[in-house]
Amino acid sequence: MALVNLKGMLNHARKNKYGVGAFDVSNLDMAIAVTQVAEEKKSPVILMGLTLDLQGDRLEYWLDNMKKIAKNTSVPVALHLDHATDIDFIKKCIDGGFSSVMFDGSMLPIEENIAKTKKVVDYAHRFGVTVEAELGHVGDGIVGNSEVGADKNTVFDNPDDYLTQPGELADFIDQTAVDCIAVAVGTAHGIYVHEPKIHFDRLAELNCISAVPMVMHGGSGTPDEAIKKSVATGICKLNIFSEMLTAFNITIKDELEKASHMAIWPHTLYQKPLEALQEVVRQKIDLVGSAQRIK
């Protein structure tokens, strides 16, 4: 099936009250594993690229592989640039073949966020590429690899101050013409130190205001019932990465610990870890309700 952008995919999800899983895939093995599950489940899927994985010549290699996967997959596939802040790099990704991009201006003053998001939208829409923006800020709840990285003992001052403000949403969407909007309602990137407090009343209010589909970042570790309720309250795209990595890395650690030697071919070593990763994808597709949407 052909490569698609997010507009039709997420508008259909919003109309029919389900979500679509968006999975960061750092390499070819991960991408193949995710799309295999999407085909099994007859679900649309979003493959996301992270800036750290796309530096230098890797961008071209990654895109070449992903475009071939999308072309040969029997369900709709969107290639989405996740959490990018450099507009020149975003343009390079659009030129290279991404069907969707995210400009993350959530840490900027709102006027600057609007201006830069609009600049990305104006460029992307010339090529039929969709744009996701973020209003409010989804922070980090993990030691290590994340946007900033937070110590386990860190207590954020007034985290509710970073929630998306309903009074700003309509104007932001109108001024930027963005295609979907990531909202901050209590989730965090990475592995949670404390169970998240999802502000469902805020989410319901935002859903009534928003003219475009809404996105939830920080889906890894969010309780299943909270994900289901979030989708029922308007979330159309759920971002997942840390849970996939955890499943893969725990399993590969187990495989190495029981191995009689370390000269294991990657094809053999990665088999069970990739199956563990696929089980996470399978569970998330079921949770957001996108299974069996493609006939």
pLDDT tens sequence across 145-165: 444 334 444 444 445 667 899
Q: What CATH superfamily is the domain 3-288?
A: Aldolase class I (3.20.20.70)
pLDDT tens for residues 250-275?
A: 999 999 999 999 999 999 999 999 99
**Active-site annotation, residues:** 82
Binding residues for Zn(2+): 83, 104, 134, 189, 217
Mean per-residue pLDDT over the chain, rounded? 91
Q: Which two tokens stand for residue 25?
A: 């895939």
Binding residues: 83, 104, 134, 189, 217
Q: What is the mean pLDDT of residues 236-246?
A: 95
pLDDT tens for residues 42-58?
A: 999 999 999 999 998 99
CA atoms within 13 A on the CB side of 90: 30
The domain limits of the chain are 3-288
Number of Cβ within 10 Å of residue 163's Cβ equals 19
